[in-house]
Structure 1
Amino acid sequence: MSVFSKLRDFFGRHRGKFIVGGVLVGGSILLTRYAQQRLKDWQERETRDFLERTRKQQHFESTERTCNQTILSLSGTLFKTLNSAMDTQIIINELKSNPENANKLELWNRLRLLVLSRITCLIYMSVMLVVTLRVQLNIVGGYLFKDANAVSTHVQETYLSLCNNLLDSGLQTIADLVEGQFDKLLENIQLSKKMRLRDFDNLFWSIQTLVTTCNGNPVEKFKDYIITNNIPNDDLILNNMIRDTADLLESDEVKSLTSHCLSRGFTLVSDELSHFYLSNTDKSKEVPEGTQLNGFVHPGEVKIPFAKVLPIMNAMTANGSLPDTLITQLIMNERLKTLGANVYECFSETA
């Protein structure tokens, strides 16, 4: 028998095995190639997703920097406008130039009203400005991430100019509201009354409570201070952004966050005042009976006449650190950052 016959017989006897083996080898090759292709597709998809996330993160960080710069810029305008609208220097000059003025008590009471109202307005206006800009600029940022040409420069300027409503008519409305409530609150508090630090805490807590009961409550009516009825909205994109802004400002989340920031702002005022009280914790100051004087006197136990605290409170907003510290605190507030991130994420997602 020839070699070829033997080979033919061998293959004949084991033909099934060769077929199965061929199928297995061929299938393994196909599966390997399929797995390699799937792995390649996955790697490419992961790379694209990584690059997209990186681009999105960089764009969001750029939006946040722009937001912070805008806040710092407009807050300077706010401080100047507020100090001009609630100027205390005229009264101070009058008291200095004519100490024996027959209307001295009236001038002091007016000064007290302006000082307390200006601090309160500073906090309300600063919080509302920062919250509004966080919402607006992250809405714009979300639109621009999806399409760099989605929002024209004109539409951006018109949309962002909504803040002017807060800085113009909004400021005057809040100032009138706060002054009116403080006028009632201070009616039975004498300038000679000796005030503890916690008395001022209670005073500012009371003004917040009174403001919440008013029809013009800035927290509940937040949207009305920003969006008026005479805003041109013939542009579809602009109309959508204004509508979305209104919805966000009316949401429970934003209202709760605004209230939280207001409380933090008044706490900051208390901290500023505590420095003054701390510097007066010596034995020459009046403290309650029974307080130990042979050592440290807690600033919370010190009592100082209301009138003597007014110059300190006036300096806080006139040329002190309160406005800048407040704005810095709001910019760094983690809950406000989270709000901005959530708004950006919502409006930057592609369909």
Structure 2
Amino acid sequence: MGLLDFLKRHQRKFYITGAIVGGAFALGKFAQWKLAEYSDRVAAEEVARARKKHHYDSNQRTCKMTAIAMLPSLRERLFNALDTEALTTKLKSSPENKILTWQELKTVTFARFLSSVYACCLLISFLRVQLNILGGCMYHGEMQTGSSLFHIFTEVHKEYLAVVQYFLGPGLTRLIDVVQSKVQDSIGSVSLKEKVDVADIERMIATARQAIEVGSIEQADDTATTATSASADAHRSLHPLVTFLLPPESNGGTSEETPDQAESEDVPSISPDAQAYITQLMGHTRDVLESQDFKSTLSACLDCGFQFGSTGLAESMLTPSVDHAAAKIPLARVVPILNAQTHGLFAHQGDGVVSSVMSLELLNQFSANVYEAYSHEISFE
């Protein structure tokens, strides 16, 4: 009876104590569940972050290997269009118009050097835009189970990347024509007997660059005069060399047929879904190319490329036995040195302009921003 009386007297305390203990136990279990849920979420985010970084790094390696794979074709087309070797061979045969041939060799050599730097930087920058847009979209597609877009990426990938053939064909031809014309205007009158040093050559190149890039801006503005004011503003916001990368929008934004493509008669058609997706991709590509970020990035690439060329030229012109401050040689002697330096631009074992430009922090940051933007859901309606 004593135990029952004790329990009755203190039952309220037992209830309160039980409630506290039970509540504490339940709270502990809830805390454990939330902690486990948080840990699982953090682990999943870490896995997703690592997977995305791996995908991005793989995409950048693809960018580099694609650019390197295209260098031989780019070099061949440039050197065939600006054939200094033929002029050198002609000079060796003692032609009657030797002075005119030397003048032509001077102009073509400078044009080849400038065109090579421009073409390499444009190719690298454009491939970074294309492959990071495509890579970001593909990553997003992989993350979406049952995505209606993922099954067409194989078609899209090949067709979209083929757009670069416009630059390697008509775009490159137009670039070379502009460069050769402006080089003739800015450097053509300089005598081959004039003694120059590295600083003088750098000033000549800078003068030609200004003529080429400002001239391209004026050409774009002339084209824009017949367009709306919005279109004219878009032209002015472009880097002046962007117009060589893509065909006019009146062509539907697709690449023109190149001689290589013309040889193939059996070109497989792509599905309507893939074509619609490519059209949207081209719109996004134009948006990126028209951005201030791309303009700044391409300018940095060009500065890096020309600095790379100038450094190599200085090393070739100056020797330990020469007083660097007073070293001046006739321009005629610089021509073969500059020609040899142009060949060196296309080295791809870590010593060429491609490796130098690709290591630019601004280019890598721009690539990361483009990839990140397109790795999230983008409207393709």
Instruction: Please give the TM-score of this superposition, normalised by the length of structure 1.
Output: 0.88
What amino acid maps onto 1:123 in structure 2? V
**Aligned counterpart for 1:302 among listed residues 306, 327, 331:** 327
**Aligned counterpart for 1:111 among listed residues 105, 114, 119:** 105
- What residue ranges of structure 2 are gaps of 5+ in the alignment? 143-149, 221-237, 255-271
For 2:47 and 2:39, the matched residues in 1 are separated by 12
What amino acid maps onto 1:147 in structure 2? G
Quick check: 1:143–1:151 contact (8 Å CA) kept in 2? no
Distance 1:124 1:200, change over 3 A: same
In structure 2, the residue matched to 1:315 is 340
Quick check: 2:172–2:244 contact (8 Å CA) kept in 1? no
* Per-residue deviation, 1:224: 5.2
Q: What SS does structure 1 have at the residue aligned with 2:346?
A: helix
Quick check: 1:220–1:250 contact (8 Å CA) kept in 2? no
**Aligned counterpart for 2:311 among listed residues 271, 276, 290:** 271
For 2:314 and 2:344, the matched residues in 1 are separated by 14
Quick check: 1:144–1:150 contact (8 Å CA) kept in 2? no
What amino acid maps onto 2:104 in structure 1? R
Distance 1:327 1:64, change over 3 A: same
- What residue ranges of structure 1 are gaps of 5+ in the alignment? 283-296
In structure 1, the residue matched to 2:284 is 244
For 2:341 and 2:2, the matched residues in 1 are separated by 108
The reply to whether residue 33 of structure 1 matches residue 29 of structure 2 is: yes
Q: What SS does structure 2 have at the residue aligned with 1:301?
A: coil
What amino acid maps onto 2:163 in structure 1? L
Matches within 5 A, 1:1-351: 5-98=1-94, 101-148=95-142, 149=150, 151-214=152-215, 215-216=218-219, 219-223=239-243, 225-229=245-249, 230-231=251-252, 235-279=275-319, 281-282=321-322, 297=323, 299-317=324-342, 320-324=343-347, 325-350=352-377
Quick check: 2:121–2:357 contact (8 Å CA) kept in 1? yes
What amino acid maps onto 1:126 in structure 2? C
**Greater CA drift, 203-212 or 143-152:** 143-152
Distance 1:257 1:80, change over 3 A: same
Deviations 1:81-140 (A, max 9, x none): 100111111111111011xx3311110110011000011011111111001101111111
In structure 2, the residue matched to 1:289 is none
* Per-residue deviation, 1:280: 6.9
* Per-residue deviation, 1:255: 0.5
Distance 1:30 1:66, change over 3 A: same
What amino acid maps onto 1:262 in structure 2? L
Who wins on radius of gyration, i.e. which is larger? Answer: 1
Instruction: Please give the TM-score of this superposition, normalised by the length of structure 2.
Output: 0.82
> Identical aligned pairs, as a percentage?
29
**Greater CA drift, 169-178 or 334-343:** 334-343
Distance 1:89 1:226, change over 3 A: same
- Deviation beyond 4 Å, 4+ runs, structure 1: 231-234
* Per-residue deviation, 1:232: 6.8
Cα RMSD between the aligned structures?
Answer: 1.9
**Greater CA drift, 6-15 or 256-265:** 6-15
For 2:24 and 2:320, the matched residues in 1 are separated by 87
Equivalent residue pairs, number:
328
What amino acid maps onto 2:248 in structure 1? T
For 2:58 and 2:219, the matched residues in 1 are separated by 35
